[in-house]
Amino acid sequence: MSKLLSVSGLKVGFGRGDALRPVVHGVDFDLAAGETLAIVGESGSGKSVTALSINRLVDYGGGRILDGRMDFLTAGGAVINLATASDRRMEKIRGGEIGMIFQEPMTSLNPVLTIGEQISEAFRLQRGLTGQAARAATLEALERVRIADAARRLGYYPHQLSGGMLQRVMIAMALATNPRLLIADEPTTALDVSVQAQIMALLAELRRETGTGLIFITHDMGLVAGIADRVMVMKEGQVVEQGPLDRILDHPDHPYTQHLLKAVPHFSGGRHVRRDHRRASAGETTPTLKVEGMTVRFPATAGLLRRSIGAIHAVESVDFDVMPGETLAIVGESGSGKSTTARALLGLVKPSRGTFSVLDERPANRRKPVQMVFQNPYASLNPRLDVESLLAEPVLASGERVDAAVRARMAALLERVGLPANSIRRYAHEFSGGQRQRLCIARALMVNPAVLVLDEAVSALDVSVQAKVLDLLIDLQNEMKLAYLFVSHDMAVVERIAHRVAVLYAGRIVEIGAAQAVLSSPQHAYTRRLIAAVPTMERRREIFELDTATIPTLLRPPGYEPPQDHWRVCGEDHQVRIEGDPYKDQNHVADARR
Amino acid sequence: MNYLIRRLVTFPLVMFGVSVLVFVAIRLVPGDSITAMLGTEAGLLTPEQRQSLAVYFGLDQGWFSQYWRWLSGVFSGNLGISVTYGKPVLDVILERFPLTLELAVLAMVIALGIGLPLGVFAATRNEKRSDLAVRIFAMIGQSTPSFVIGLLIIFALSAGFGILPAMGQFVPFLEDPLGNLSQLILPAMTLGLSFTASVTRISRSAVLDVLGDDYVRTARAKGAPKARVIWRHALPNALIPVVTLSGVEFGYLLGGAVLVEQIFALPGLGRLVLDAILQRDYALVQGSVLFVALNFMIVNLLVDLTYVMLDPRIRLGGRA
Amino acid sequence: MKAFFQSLLRHPSGRIGAAIVLLYIIVALLSQAGLTPYDPLKQFRIERLQGATLAHWMGTDMFGRDVLSRLMIGIGQSFLVAFSSVGLAAVIGTLLGLTAAWFGHLWDGLVMRLMDVLLAFPAILLALLFIAVVGPGTFTSILAIAFVYTPIFTRVVRGPALSIKTRDFVDAARSFGSSTSYILTRHLMLNLVAPLTVQVTLALAWSLLTESGLSFLGLGTQPPNSSLGLMLADSVNLMEMAPWLLIFPALAVMLGILGFNLLGDALRDILDPRMRRVVA
């Protein structure tokens, strides 16, 4: 195989003069035609900057190539150095020879142009096609990424399509002119697990069909295993290790690679669940949190007069309980109602019906026995308050004064969650993401709660930070006998922390039981599909199945009541919903409409 | 389409508020309206004459019925009689309006014609010397009250060339295009300069903002050349704040530029309102202020229509 | 605080703007303390309509009054009106905008439609209407300008308040059970300080502009008291004979407004994190 791209001594920096800040310090790698290289690293590793340097988009972000060569073999057979090529030349290479797809499909497409106009622009710019020829080519490009009803979709604007659909449009656009190299910068990070699986499958198929080289940027080792031929691991702007996929995954040399592979959560089909808690049988202990028939419906309106057309059944009669010292993970994809369930427990949304009770056996319990840690530690701390004020808020809110005892508790908790003692006078922006989330945990613990609701509490963090925060959470739980309700979409993280798992789909629990049982032998069709979509280390270069099932609408006509639940018990602690006749359900909807 | 309909619904609501505000403001003027209307001559009235005048103007009735009479008059195009001009208020307003409208249009043409390209140019030359020059120009332009600009222009012309701007009777464009333009060019430039400055500033910052968006990067990744990135991808997304600002400024100019009309001695709407206030011609104040507010609201509606054309997200609503 | 002033002084337009504003504030204070070169009302009969001399740096007007002294008094007068009116508008507007955003529903609708009504008039026309009702004068101009700019503050506060309301830290506060007054003061207001500071600075520029216009028309400060607009109005018929009567007040108005505009721009750059885009 011939070399498609050969990068040597690449250095990239931002700013000029005294303010020059080098970000990439000398990267070398080769890519053969048709080969896939995965660049793996966490935020700040320089992986994205490296990618953006190859097609020189980095120039427009304030960056500059300081040194090094990037020799690229063009379709015409000439070798040119991309590091020094003129802007004119680069315009022909970008799009023509090197395509690129980005992390956020929602913002990466122009909101005021139809997707047809945006794809055909690629043909127009690189092939000079216009009119009917461009339209035909665009249609073909959309069909190639398996978009059904492509002719009609051409006239759609980006906001009318889902994230997964838009990412396919992006891929169609990047591959429109058969580039010899495709750069994918975290293309699935913003998407749900099952959509991620579809996009990965599509990428793998298209790569085979077109023989294009692929540079795949990611933080997720599980995805790497599925698609890469070679792997390059980056940290703080430097390459720590590179080599063939199997060698890197099975015999990593560098401690950082070993850390990424071992310490970081990876999904392993329920083999590594926690075993530090035995669920007491009913009657032996009373649960700390008991939720019965929790239902949240939002009124839905339409038209100018905001006529009621029914309700969004976001959460539909959900029951579960959590024992002291136990973690129940609620898993599901966006729109499944998992966050709404969590927010209902905190009083942030009003349940339409259902009850929950919290039993706190300890003396001197405070008014709010349920506390919550939010997903985004950057948004959940008021930037204008210092740490002392942040930690004081729950105390003040429960009607108490901040006295010496409270201050002592602040100091103790800060130390316990691993923050420096001098933190108390600092502001949120002075801390890293992981530290902020520790701060949020300390804040939630200030009033000594019995239940901690963790809403995607580690999703916004870097993978290696995730592991440390999870360890902290596990230690705290064991010390304080806290009950955790852990809401997450990330199966790998769930496997690390959950004792039990409840799978939420379209607002209802479809399966619930011991983590080991649910993750290793899922019974419900949806759970199976969800788990099959999770990338793992074991499945190397596997071809995923293209599955385009979508979540059914949650909008129900006024007065609609869902049919009675039926459950099948399939283990000591494992239950699965038996789905009724789907046609019957549909008729019901139709009746109510009439 | 819902968006536009919703705006249409609030239109009469706001107009109703405007009419109440104007009506109440006039009634709040200290002293009784008849004295205010007739000035010193009011002293000569007998109580009987006073009473019959009050009945004639409906002033003997409650505020509510007075308002109702006025409002029903407004709907049939009857804004009352101006005391100073001895003519229907509407006629007086419509006499003045063509000048105001032409001045506003000229100022906007100047502002968009110069400000928009200048702002876009400055955005693409971010932080370079030419950008700095544009920003200084815009900053000074925005910081100078238009009547000061007008005074300085008049001063420069008379001191430097010994010419005075054409003043006096308004010459309609259709009758004498050249005379009309030579009359209006200076005031239009005066108004246009501050307007240009604001358009330049807002289009520069809007384009700069949009140039950092993800889809602009996508366009570059497709190999789109610089000019195409700016005109095809960035500008359409940056136009909304520019349209908003231009709409507001244009709408306000339709209310007459009191100060600039004063300086150039032009008989526009602004001076009409000012004179009406100074001469306590309340029917005229009431009518002209309502007219100005109506103009502004109509311009606002046109701006909303432009949003709908510019942004499919507003046009088509959320995901179907 | 220290870091804030440092970055303000590092910002090129912030430096110039702050210097101009500081100079004007000093001049305004001096004039209010009576520390002008001459009594601004004293008429030097023999020195009428004189250009700049060593005795009268900016010349004298048609009554032989010292222009510099009158200019200083005028600046003091304009600043008095500008600061009082903007202060008033900011307090009322913030209160309305904050409560409209937080309580929403009927109150929000009522407040915002009322503001729409006020915004349907050009600023100077609304001020004129106000003065028609209350009568001309310094105090009236303060009220009139405050009246005109209240809707702008209401909008400027309501927008960010609505977005802060949906931020996670407000949800967190609600999940602790914090009281509404605590959330409004500690979470919303504290985060609105930055946009408000920017807006207040820019509003000071507009208010200077409106004030000079009103007194130019003879509806603001009344003679024999002095203000920049009044001085400009007096210069109109004499500009060929005595250009200094036009030039100095014109420059004084421009520079004052420019100072606040520059400062406001710099504050926006420094305080508004949206503009500080982090490059990937």
Q: Please report which confidence band the pLDDT of residue A588 belongs to, taking 50, 70 and 90 as the band edges.
A: very low
Residue B229 has pLDDT above 90, yes or no: yes
CB spacing of B17 vs C254 below 8 angstroms:
no
Where is average pLDDT lowest: A159-173, A271-285, B106-120, C194-208? A271-285
Measure in Å the smallest separation between the Cα of B245 and chain A Cα atoms. Answer: 20
Point out the residue among C113, C133, C246 whose CB comes nearest to the CB of B29: C133
Q: Which chain C residue is nearest to residue A386, measuring alpha carbons?
A: C186
State which of A271-285, A434-448, B44-58 shows the largest mean pLDDT.
A434-448
Q: How far is CA C169 from the centre of its chain?
A: 33
In chain A, the percentage of residues whose pLDDT exceeds 70 is 92
Chains touching B (at least 3 CB pairs under 8 A) are: A, C
CB spacing of B222 vs A104 below 8 angstroms:
no
Q: What is the mean pLDDT of chain B?
A: 84
CA distance A335 to B103: 55
Torsion of CA A513, A518, A522, A525, to 10 degrees: 50
Measure in Å the smallest separation between the Cα of C113 and chain B Cα atoms. Answer: 7
CB spacing of B292 vs C121 below 8 angstroms:
yes
Q: Please report which confidence band the pLDDT of residue A162 belongs to, taking 50, 70 and 90 as the band edges.
A: confident
Q: Determine contact: B81 vs chain C, CB below 8 A.
A: no
Which tokens hold the place of B247? 């709409």
Q: Determine contact: B209 vs chain A, CB below 8 A.
A: no
Residue A161 located in a structural domain: no
Task: Pick from C106, C111, C112, C125 the residue to mutate for testing the B interface (most B CBs within 10 Å).
Answer: C125
Structural domain total, chain A:
2
Question: Residues A355, A215: one domain?
Answer: no
CB spacing of C116 vs B145 below 8 angstroms:
no
Q: For residue A125, what are the contacts with CB-CB under 8 A and spacing of at least 6?
A: A95, B222, B223, B224, B228
CA distance A369 to A288: 10
Residue B288 located in a structural domain: no
Residue B204 located in a structural domain: yes
Average of pLDDT values for A189-194? 83
Per-residue pLDDT at C275? 41
Residue C5 has pLDDT above 60, yes or no: yes
Q: Please report which confidence band the pLDDT of residue B101 belongs to, taking 50, 70 and 90 as the band edges.
A: very high
CB spacing of A94 vs B313 below 8 angstroms:
no
Residue A542 located in a structural domain: yes
Question: Residues A21, A100: one domain?
Answer: yes
Task: Pick from B143, B152, B290 the residue to mutate for testing the C interface (most C CBs within 10 Å).
Answer: B143
Residue A400 located in a structural domain: no
CB spacing of A60 vs B313 below 8 angstroms:
no
Q: Residue A349 carries which side chain, given as an amino acid letter?
A: V
Q: What is the mean pLDDT of chain A?
A: 87
Residue B113 located in a structural domain: yes
Interface ipTM: 0.83
Average of pLDDT values for A419-432? 89
Residue B1 has pLDDT above 70, yes or no: no
Measure in Å the smallest separation between the Cα of A290 and chain C Cα atoms. Answer: 19
Average of pLDDT values for B191-209? 92
CB spacing of C116 vs B14 below 8 angstroms:
yes
Per-residue pLDDT at A334? 82
CA distance B2 to C45: 71
Q: Please report which confidence band the pLDDT of residue B30 belongs to, taking 50, 70 and 90 as the band edges.
A: low
Average of pLDDT values for C136-163? 90
Q: For residue B33, what are the contacts with CB-CB under 8 A and spacing of at least 6?
A: B57, B59, B282
In A59-98, the residues whose Cβ lies within 8 Å of chain B are 60-61, 87, 90-96
Task: Mark out the alpha helices in chain B (DSSP H runs).
Answer: 2-28, 33-38, 47-56, 63-75, 89-110, 116-124, 129-143, 146-160, 177-211, 214-221, 226-228, 235-254, 258-263, 269-278, 282-310, 312-316
In chain B, the percentage of residues whose pLDDT exceeds 70 is 89
Q: Which chain A residue is nearest to residue B5, measuring alpha carbons?
A: A304
Structural domain total, chain B:
1
Question: Residues A338, A460: one domain?
Answer: yes
Please give the model's pTM, rounded to 2 decimal places.
Answer: 0.84
Question: Residues A343, A207: one domain?
Answer: no
Per-residue pLDDT at A572? 83
The class level of CATH for C58-256 reads mainly alpha
CA distance B257 to B315: 34
Residue B2 has pLDDT above 80, yes or no: no
**pLDDT tens digits for range A529-546:** 889 888 887 777 665 555
Residue B212 located in a structural domain: yes
Residue A565 located in a structural domain: yes
Domain that holds residue A97: 3-105+179-263
Measure in Å the smallest separation between the Cα of B272 and chain C Cα atoms. Answer: 11
* CATH for A467: 3.40.50.300
Per-residue pLDDT at B83? 78
Question: Residues A248, A326: one domain?
Answer: no
Chain B residue numbers with beta carbons less than 8 Å from the beta carbon of A104 are: 214
Point out the residue among B25, B148, B253 whose CB comes nearest to the CB of C254: B148
Q: Which residues does residue A184 pair with via DSSP β-bridges, in sequence order?
A: A101, A216
CA distance A553 to A164: 17
Q: Which chain A residue is nearest to residue C168, measuring alpha carbons?
A: A380
Residue B95 has pLDDT above 60, yes or no: yes
Where is average pLDDT lowest: A186-200, A331-345, B230-244, C45-59? C45-59
Q: Which chain C residue is nearest to residue B17, measuring alpha carbons?
A: C117
Count of Cβ atoms closer than 10 Å to residue C274 Cβ = 8
CB spacing of A347 vs C187 below 8 angstroms:
no
CB spacing of B218 vs A95 below 8 angstroms:
no
Question: Residues A52, A95: one domain?
Answer: yes
Q: For residue C175, what are the contacts with CB-CB under 8 A and spacing of at least 6?
A: A346, A347, A348, A368, A371, A372
Task: Pick from C111, C128, C147 the residue to mutate for testing the B interface (most B CBs within 10 Å).
Answer: C128
CB spacing of A382 vs C179 below 8 angstroms:
no
CA distance A332 to A222: 19
Average of pLDDT values for A221-238? 91
Domain that holds residue B202: 101-279
Which tokens hold the place of A356? 């929950």
State which of B121-130, B189-198, C45-54 shows the largest mean pLDDT.
B189-198
Is the separation of the CB atoms in B75 and B90 below 8 Å? Answer: no
Is the separation of the CB atoms in A46 and A69 below 8 Å? Answer: no
CA angle B238, C120, B17 (to 5 degrees): 135
Per-residue pLDDT at C280? 26
Chain A residue numbers with beta carbons less than 8 Å from the beta carbon of C279 are: 14, 61-63
Average of pLDDT values for B88-114? 92
**pLDDT tens digits for range C121-143:** 888 888 888 888 888 888 888 99
Residue A441 has pLDDT above 90, yes or no: yes
Point out the residue among C121, C232, C243 whose CB comes nearest to the CB of B159: C243
* CATH for B124: 1.10.3720.10
Residue C278 has pLDDT above 60, yes or no: no
CB spacing of A380 vs C178 below 8 angstroms:
no
Per-residue pLDDT at A549? 58
Per-residue pLDDT at C46? 74
Average of pLDDT values for C26-31? 89
CB-hemisphere CA count at 13 Å for A10? 34
Average of pLDDT values for A155-169? 89
Q: Determine contact: A110 vs chain B, CB below 8 A.
A: yes
Query: Are β-strands A574-577 and A567-571 bridged in parallel, bridged antiparallel, or unpaired?
Result: antiparallel
Residue A412 located in a structural domain: no
**pLDDT tens digits for range B156-181:** 888 777 776 666 667 777 777 777 78
Q: Determine contact: A112 vs chain B, CB below 8 A.
A: yes
CB spacing of A347 vs C179 below 8 angstroms:
no
Is the separation of the CB atoms in A323 and A483 below 8 Å? Answer: yes
All structural domains of chain C with their residue ranges: 58-256
Per-residue pLDDT at A283? 67
In B189-228, the residues whose Cβ lies within 8 Å of chain C are 212
**pLDDT tens digits for range C167-189:** 899 999 999 888 999 999 999 99
Q: What is the mean pLDDT of chain C?
A: 85
Q: Determine contact: C232 vs chain B, CB below 8 A.
A: yes
Per-residue pLDDT at B32? 61
Where is average pLDDT lowest: A448-452, A519-523, C152-156, C241-245? C241-245
Average of pLDDT values for B213-240? 92
Q: Determine contact: C252 vs chain B, CB below 8 A.
A: no
Per-residue pLDDT at A541? 63
**pLDDT tens digits for range B273-295:** 888 888 878 788 888 888 998 89
Q: For residue A160, what are the contacts with CB-CB under 8 A and spacing of at least 6?
A: B316, B319, B320
In chain C, the percentage of residues whose pLDDT exceeds 70 is 96
Average of pLDDT values for A472-492? 93
Per-residue pLDDT at B312? 87
Residue A590 has pLDDT above 50, yes or no: no
Residue B57 has pLDDT above 50, yes or no: yes
CA distance A578 to B179: 87
Question: Residues A302, A256: one domain?
Answer: no
Per-residue pLDDT at A195? 83
Measure in Å the smallest separation between the Cα of B48 and chain C Cα atoms. Answer: 28
Per-residue pLDDT at A586? 41
State which of A93-97, A118-122, A456-460, A570-574 shows the largest mean pLDDT.
A118-122
Where is average pLDDT lowest: A253-257, B174-178, C152-156, C246-250? B174-178
In chain A, the percentage of residues whose pLDDT exceeds 90 is 47
Average of pLDDT values for A503-511? 92
Per-residue pLDDT at A498? 94
Q: Please report which confidence band the pLDDT of residue B58 belongs to, taking 50, 70 and 90 as the band edges.
A: low
Greater confidence, A255 or C13? A255
Per-residue pLDDT at B196? 94
Point out the residue among C113, C246, C258 whose CB comes nearest to the CB of B139: C258
Point out the residue among C129, C209, C277 whose CB comes nearest to the CB of B145: C209
Residue A405 located in a structural domain: no
Where is average pLDDT lowest: A556-560, B104-108, C192-196, C273-277? C273-277
Q: Is A149 exposed, middle or buried (0-12, 13-18, 19+ CB in 10 A)?
A: exposed
Q: Determine contact: B17 vs chain C, CB below 8 A.
A: yes
